[in-house]
């Protein structure tokens, strides 16, 4: 399976997902600025993957402290964390990772930060793959023996350290011998579905059909879709879920056609500090992503453009949220609180 990021002990190599599916090219990140740019410019994307990348960014930051005294070293790391956190505001996994690393520094003498943060970044990377596998296992109950599953954006191996969240659910079902067919929304404007999900599933020999976003409701009306599975960038404590722009429309259509709508995400995508989805910051990206396809302009020069990268699906449209610690349905507030109370949950 393709690696989203690779750590060689000095340099973080980031797969440039903007060039997929045509070219598989890794770009070196030697500095925290390189890491921040790779997230901001979406060489690496997907909530868990940018969290893992930011963790390595903090490991690189620890090498910059040189002979500084403890207070100055702590200040330096905090400013590096702020730089990384400012790159993309919606997915909470990024700030989860930087704050987790800062917490660890508070518990460790600054002479040991280099080896401590590097080891922790490697652990977070491996843990992310394990979390995805657990999500797949915890979702098994919701996936019938035979199903056509619609997914939106890319919540796959490419959006995580490996295996994927929504696509992890699909991978697990296929591994269990279930007869699964996937419909992938192309996911305008960045085309994560067309460029990434279709490619990733085809690499694994999983049956995938690409559709444009505007076709999803039609296929639901034709009863061609049995189930929807998507990932998440941030889940509020009441279950409201931010995910790639267009997810809300898919959820509304699924609800209208009584098709189950599952959200698959690790527990560190849940932000218990937020009461509901209206508090989730929504990233607005450059208009070029809307008016250009590749280098080809498809709209009049100077047309006004909006480009919110995410939307929020209200919890009442969600059948279940599947995490690495278990699945929650019905009363999401109580269910998510319960998952956080499990030993070792975070």
Distances (CA, A) of 84 to 51, 95, 239, 309: 10, 8, 26, 18
Task: Extract long-range pairs of 80-84: CB within 8 Å, 24+ residues apart.
Answer: 80/32, 83/32, 83/33, 83/36, 84/32, 84/35, 84/36, 84/39, 84/54, 84/57, 84/58
Helix (H, G, I), strand (E, B), or coil: what is residue 307? coil
Within a 13 Å sphere around the CA of 275, how many CA atoms are in the beta-carbon half? 0
Q: Does 193 bind ligand MRU (CB under 6 A)?
A: no
Among 87, 192, 197, 268, binds ligand MRU (CB under 6 A): 192
CB of 257 vs ligand MRU, minimal distance in Å: 21
Matching residue, tokens 């508090």: 279
Among 195, 234, 244, 315, binds ligand MRU (CB under 6 A): 244
Site string for ligand MRU, 74-103 (x = CB under 6 A): -----------------x------------
Active site residue 204: no
Closest CA to 58 of 12, 1, 4: 12
Among the listed ranges 19-27, 226-234, 253-261, 328-336, the one in contact with ligand MRU (CB under 6 A) is 226-234
What's the closest the beta carbon of residue 301 comes to ligand MRU, in angstroms? 26
Binding residue for ligand MRU (CB under 6 A) from 46, 51, 162, 277? Answer: 46
**Using the rule CB under 6 A, is 160 a contact of ligand MRU?**
yes
Nearer to ligand MRU, 45 or 255 (CB): 45
Q: Which is nearer to ligand MRU, 89 or 231 (CB)?
A: 231
DSSP state of 194: I
Give the chain's length: 346
243 in contact with ligand MRU (CB under 6 A)? yes
Short-list 160, 312, 164, 169, CA closest to 234: 312
Q: Among residues 20, 29, 48, 228, which is the contact residue for ligand MRU, using CB under 6 A?
A: 48
Greatest C-alpha distance within the chain: 66
Among 155, 253, 291, 317, binds ligand MRU (CB under 6 A): 155
Which residues, in sequence order, are CB contacts of 146 under 8 Å at separation 6+? 178, 179, 180
Instruction: Name the active-site residue from 233, 240, 311, 324.
Output: 233
Would you give the binding string for ligand MRU spanning residues 295-334, x where CB under 6 A is met?
Answer: --------------x-------------------------
Check residue 287 and give left, alpha or beta (phi > 0: left; psi -120 to 50: alpha). alpha
Catalytic residue annotation: 233
The residue ranges that bind ligand MRU (CB under 6 A) are 45-48, 91, 153, 155, 159-160, 165, 192, 231-233, 243-244, 309
């Amino acid at each position: 399976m393709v690696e989203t990021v690779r750590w060689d002990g000095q340099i973080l190599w980031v797969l440039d997902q903007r060039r997929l599916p045509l070219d598989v090219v890794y770009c070196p990140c030697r500095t925290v600025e390189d890491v921040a740019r790779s997230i901001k410019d979406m060489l690496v994307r997907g909530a868990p993957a940018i969290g893992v990348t930011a963790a390595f960014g903090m490991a690189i930051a620890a090498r910059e402290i040189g002979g500084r005294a403890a207070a100055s070293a702590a200040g330096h790391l905090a400013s590096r964390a702020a730089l990384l956190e400012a790159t993309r505001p919606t997915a909470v996994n990024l700030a989860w990772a930087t704050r987790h690393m800062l917490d660890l520094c508070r518990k460790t003498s600054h002479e040991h930060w280099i080896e401590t943060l590097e080891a922790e970044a490697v652990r977070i990377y491996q843990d992310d793959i394990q979390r995805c596998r657990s999500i797949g296992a915890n979702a098994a109950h919701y996936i019938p023996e035979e199903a056509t599953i619609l997914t939106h954006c890319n919540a796959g191996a490419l959006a995580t350290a490996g295996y994927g969240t929504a696509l992890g659910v699909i991978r697990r079902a296929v591994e269990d011998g279930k007869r699964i067919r996937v419909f992938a929304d192309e996911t305008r404007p960045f085309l994560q579905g067309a460029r990434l999900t279709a490619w990733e599933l085809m690499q694994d020999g999983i049956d995938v059909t690409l559709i444009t976003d505007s076709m999803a409701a039609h296929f639901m009306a034709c009863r061609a879709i049995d189930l929807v599975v998507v990932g998440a960038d941030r889940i509020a404590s009441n279950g409201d879920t931010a995910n790639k722009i267009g997810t809300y429309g898919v959820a509304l259509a699924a609800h209208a056609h009584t098709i189950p709508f599952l959200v698959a995400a690790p527990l560190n995508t849940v932000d218990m500090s937020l009461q509901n989805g209206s508090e989730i910051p929504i990233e607005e990206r450059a208009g070029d992503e809307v008016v250009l396809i590749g280098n080809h302009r498809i709209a009049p020069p100077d047309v006004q453009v909006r480009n919110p990268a995410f939307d929020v699906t209200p919890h009442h449209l969600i059948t279940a949220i599947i995490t690495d610690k278990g699945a929650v349905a019905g009363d999401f507030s109580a269910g998510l609180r319960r998952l956080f109370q499990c030993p070792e949950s975070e």
